[in-house]
Structure formats: structure tokens, C-alpha cells
Structure 1
């Protein structure tokens, strides 16, 4: 990933448009590069299995994969028995998701204003989809998550762990992009979730490679 380091807590004007355009640009190559990536990630599969178990324990029901991209994780959740559907900001990503998973539901939408009814979800997954949301927009996004998850419902957030932000100018086969990638500590994400009204159940860090950390926070409403 090419880019430059910037300070934590920045304001990013136009981030939604930049994110949409960037992922429209890389949608096809993103899908090709990551389609089978989960096969080599036993820890991630285990984390998703725990999420599925918690959703079933909460009574089952609809599960939204918010920021679903090409739908690979939505398809995995469906494969383990969840009533999963996907939402993504990028129309091109949704086109790819519908092509690759024609029996599943995918919708274009923004996590800042979800086109979903109050209390309609038993589970919500944000799998590395909050990484482009600036700090000053997180309260809006998490308030939407809280609104659509029913009492007792389960939330799982996955993200790049660490500190600081970086401008990503190309990716997924060298295509041009303009998105800021924000790294956060699990404790910081957990504090934001608690402030939004969720009850945090677990904070986890996975280190798949040297100097690479993935953070995961489980919470419920």
C-alpha cells in the first residue's frame, strides 16, 4: 500500500465519495484477489464461527454484513447457516457480489444512514469496513448500528489494529485509490461502542504476520 502517514483523529472531507469511487475502481480485481482468502485464515474463520454461534444463541434472524464488498464474507456467513445479506457503498462492489452470490441479497447503501428499520437485525458484522471512517464520523456510524440491531442482538467489528492513519493511493492490482486507512486499538473501538450504547463482551488481537495486527470487538445491545 503506497501512502503517507498522517496524524490520528483527522477530519477527512469527501471521504464517502472517495471511498465509493475507489472501490468502484478496484471492485473486479478486489474480488479476484480475495475470493478464497478466508480459506487460509483459520483464526478469522474461528472468529466468524463464534459470531454465528452468538447470533444463533440470540434467537437467529437477519444478519447484515455492512461494508460487504464483493460479498465473500456474506457468502461465508450464509454457508454456516445465518440469514445474511450485504450492504455496501460501492455499486460496482454490489454488482460483483450479486454476480458471485446470485441467491443472496445485496444492497447499495451507506453505513452513515442505513436503509433498515429500527431493531430489525439479530446480528451486524462490520468486517474491516470501518477502516475508512474518520474518527469524527464514528459516532454517527455506531449510532446507526445501535438503531438497527435489536435488543439482545450481536455486533462484531473487525479492523486494522494500531494507531495512526495513512492515505492509500493504489491497491488491489495497482489500481488508483484515494482512501485513508485508519488504525485503532481494540480498547479505543470498545470505548466508542460503549458510548454508543452497546455492551462490549470481548476485545481480541490477531497477529497473522510480523507487524500486522487485526483487531476484533464483540458487543451486544
Structure 2
């Protein structure tokens, strides 16, 4: 565990490669262990605010749980993830969604292209000194007034696990606490509209789910 941000930003390519390898290795175990019911409720609430024909980006879509499986039949959905194994699961679960490999800090999506962005349990795998860059990417691809739903930390934390979910795959996490995350969201143009703290069903602790709107 490390509660101090590094003096120099970590290399994004090196970090992303490690996260990609980890999720490739843990894909099936993670998919089996996930219970997306409470997240699906949040996604459905987000969907209720979207116009007909809206386009939704799931940034860090994983195997398509919660977001793509809930929305792909109603909206145009795009899923972006580092892990090819996770995208294979997402393709089977939500065949109507468009899928692409990509990094949250360099999204393969055009400016002003989507009406909503979801990032559930994905920004937490980006080095926290680069979270503002990821949030700025969400703002870039959203249309004015667009919606955001993301997961971040209740408190600040960083750590790693060499055998996550007993899969033999390594994983690493890095995130700010609530106040800093909201400060960064506001700095790139978001107004936070709702917050909810939920238990982490995979490993104890809690997550903060934030809803926000991009200023018009």
C-alpha cells in the first residue's frame, strides 16, 4: 500500500500493459465472481435520463456486465477495454455493442460523440496521477450536457495483488479519495449530481459511485 503520489508520473504504457495482462488472465474468474445487480440499477437510472437514440460509451467495459448487457438493446453502445479476453466475453454477452481495444487516457472515440459515459471499476486501474487525464477524455468525447457514471475510491489507496481472485493473475489499483476525485471532475467541466457508497462484493471495502453532468 502506498498513500503518497509518486514524484514522477508512472509510464502509462507500462502500467496499461500490466493491467491488460492481469485482466486477460483473470477474465473468466472475474466474470464468474461479479454480481452486477446493484450496478445495473444505477445504469438503469442513468438510462432514464437519456434521449431516444442516445449513444453510450462504456469505458473499461470488461465482459459487458451491468452496462452493455443492460443498454445494448435500447441504445447505441460502444465498449472500450484494454483486455482482449474481456472483450471476447463482452461480444458474446452484448453482440449489438460496438467494441474496441483502448486506454481510458487515450480513448479511440471522436470528440462530442456520445451522450453518456460509464466507467465502472475501470479508472481505479489507472495511476491516480493520470486520473485527471482520464476524466478530461470523458469530457472530450461527451456532448455538452452529457452524463457520466463512474466508480472511484471512498478513500485514497494504491496497491497490488499477485494472485487476484485465486486466478494466478496479478492486478494493481490506484485511486484518490472522494474529495480529490470530485475536485478533478469539476476541474475538467463536470458537475457532480449524485453520490452513492456501495460495498465491494469481491474483496471487502467500499466504492464510491458518482454521477455527473458535463457543463453545456
Q: Same fold (TM over 0.5)?
A: yes
The aligned runs of 1:129-208 (5 Å cut-off) are: 129-177=122-170, 179-207=171-199
2:69 corresponds, among 63, 68, 75, to 75
Q: 1:213 to 1:60 in 2, by over 3 A?
A: farther
Equivalent-residue separation in structure 2 for 1:214 and 1:98 (angstroms): 27
Structure 2 equivalent of residue 45 of structure 1: 40
The aligned runs of 1:52-131 (5 Å cut-off) are: 52-56=47-51, 60-73=53-66, 74-78=68-72, 81-131=74-124
Checking the alignment, whether the CA contact within 8 Å between 2:104 and 2:123 is kept in structure 1 is no
Higher relative contact order (CA 8 A, sep 6+): 1
Q: CA deviation at 1:163?
A: 2.1
Consecutive unaligned residues of structure 1, counting only runs of 5 or more, are none
The 3-state SS of whatever aligns with 1:192 is: helix
Checking the alignment, whether the CA contact within 8 Å between 2:72 and 2:94 is kept in structure 1 is no
CA shift digits 1:161-195 (9 cap, x unpaired) = 22221112121333221x32234333221111011
The 3-state SS of whatever aligns with 1:72 is: coil
Equivalent-residue separation in structure 2 for 1:192 and 1:112 (angstroms): 14
Checking the alignment, whether the CA contact within 8 Å between 2:145 and 2:213 is kept in structure 1 is yes
Aligned length: 208
**TM-score, normalising length: structure 1:** 0.84
Structure 2 equivalent of residue 6 of structure 1: 2
The 3-state SS of whatever aligns with 1:8 is: coil
RMSD: 2.2
Consecutive unaligned residues of structure 2, counting only runs of 5 or more, are none
